[in-house]
Structure 1
C-alpha cells in the first residue's frame, strides 16, 4: 500500500508538469511558471519525505563467532 501512495504522489507531480507544459504552449506563461514552481517544490518534498536523500548507515547484525 505504501508503494501505491508513493507512485500516486509521483504521478500527480508528473501530471502537474504536463499541464504546465501545455499551458506554456498556449501562451499562459504566468500560470505555467506557477505550476512548474509547484511541481519542483512537490518533487523536492516527495524525495525528502521518502528518504531518498538520506545517508543510510550499514550495520552488521551478525554476532561474532565463538572460538572453539
Structure 2
C-alpha cells in the first residue's frame, strides 16, 4: 500500500470512506484476496482505476 486516506461523511462518525493506493494489479492473487476481504466487510467497494507506476518508484527503492 502506498497511500491510505479516510473521509467522514458530513463530518460525522456515521460513515467513513477510505481511499487507498496499492502497488499491483487487481488480478494478482494476493491483491484479489485482499479485495475480496474488503468487499466482505464493506457496504461499498470500487476500483477507481488501474494506472502504470511512474518509473521513479522502481529507482527510488
Q: Which TM-score applies when normalising by structure 2?
A: 0.25
Q: Flag the structure with more relative contact order, 1 or 2, with Cα contacts below 8 A and sequence separation at least 6.
A: 1
More strand by share: 2
Of structures 1 and 2, the larger Rg is shown by: 1
Q: Which TM-score applies when normalising by structure 1?
A: 0.24
More helix by share: 1
